[in-house]
Amino acid sequence: MELAALPQRLTVDLARTAVVVVDMQNDFCAPDGWLASSGVDVSAAAAPAAALERALPRLRGSGVPVVWLNWGNRPDRANLPPGVRHVYDPDGASTGIGDPLPNGSHVLELGSWSAAVVDGLTVDPGDLHVAKYRMSGFWDTPLDSVLRNLRVDTLLFAGVNVDQCVLATLVDAACLGYDVVLVEDLCGTTSPEFCTEATVYNVRQCFGFTTTSAELLAGLPA
């Protein structure tokens, strides 16, 4: 596939490509999820869902595997170091990882509503699911093994937050030798706009390439 991208045009082998969708889950994107319950406006996090719903069926139809990489912790939180737990509950008195929400779910817990893909996105039975426990999806998870077994070496990145978990996973992927492409409008963030601008700049400058879903769909076989 010929793909318009920045900083330069790409030729992508679809047989060796996968799309990694990061953290498009209820706790980050739903109006009654964890972030929203703590007062965060999650509309920007939910925004990529419509474009993803258009793009993913076309990618699947071209043989590109879809990997849902969602934050999903052990219920006992035994694998989480203190530093990770502190980031999400800095005063020790807020609603942190594993704590109950008003809706009865537990924050970012594997198998719970909190870790499930947000409504509005269709999950295909052939899609793959990997749970992560850090900003990066490569630490302490089978993500690298799954991708190696798929025989892919090019990764299309989507999801939230683009400046946090998406970027951390993309950087680790680049360091592991994958070719990485950030699909800008398939990503979102609740951070200020300058965080997105810095992320896009650094991806183009240091790690890989950026494109849009329009360019991606235009390049796919009919």
Known catalytic residues? 23, 132, 165
Work out the burial of residue 198: count CB atoms within 10 Å of its CB; fewer than 13 is exposed, 13-18 middle, 19 or more buried. Answer: middle
Residue located via tokens 């299309």: 156
Which of 157, 165, 167 minimizes the C-alpha distance to 202?
167
